[in-house]
Chain A
Amino acid sequence: DGGITQSPKYLFRKEGQNVTLSCEQNLNHDAMYWYRQDPGQGLRLIYYSQIVNDFQKGDIAEGYSVSREKKESFPLTVTSAQKNPTAFYLCASSPPGTNEKLFFGSGTQLSVL
């Protein structure tokens, strides 16, 4: 089955700790995205990547970092600099050269211990 896989589904972070959320896709999509969703809210763009080895900051990149070493993978690290990391994190991808349909993973809920 083609799709986007996010792991883990639930993640807990201790004070001062960096944690990494995984996102893998086998749709052969060039573009990948990370969104943050707070309870009862819409999605806000953290980072996006349109091609391997290249990525750009979204609207709320502070306290987060990403890498794009492989087309299939776009991991997100929530650093200790992110003071309010509790949220639902969604990864998405889209076919080359278009934003006309995003495919989403099932999300990771990050909570602070």
Chain B
Amino acid sequence: SQQGEEDPQALSIQEGENATMNCSYKTSINNLQWYRQNSGRGLVHLILIRSNEREKHSGRLRVTLDTSKKSSSLLITASRAADTASYFCATGGAGNMLTFGGGTRLMVKP
């Protein structure tokens, strides 16, 4: 079963706007990661946040983690058409396994 669930399932915005995606999970985690997938391609790692961290930044990406609510959000600021992709959260717990959510499909219109 999937650990994480992304919300919304699909998001359409204009270039220059911010995009926010949310991820909820069920069990305790060591870390939470976000990946990006362009259509028909493999996933690319974007950012990792550890369970003892609350916020992390990388370029135009900002990730937050609330372990009390078992949720995370990914914010992409000043979006570009090239940001159009599916975004997945993945939770890492005991052992080396990651569990992926169902993804958010982001479309950025030029």
Contact = CB atoms under 8 A, between A and B. Distances in A.
Nearest to B44: A104
Given A101-B45, A104-B42, A107-B41, A42 B96 contact: no
Contacts of B40: 88, 107, 109
Given A42-B103, A107-B40, A102 B2 contact: no
Interface residues of A, number: 30
Contacts, number: 65
Contact of A102 (B1, B4, B98, B105): B98
Given A106-B41, A107-B41, A45 B102 contact: no
A102 B45 contact: yes
Contacts of B96: 31, 48, 50, 94, 97-99
Given A99-B97, A99-B98, A104 B43 contact: yes
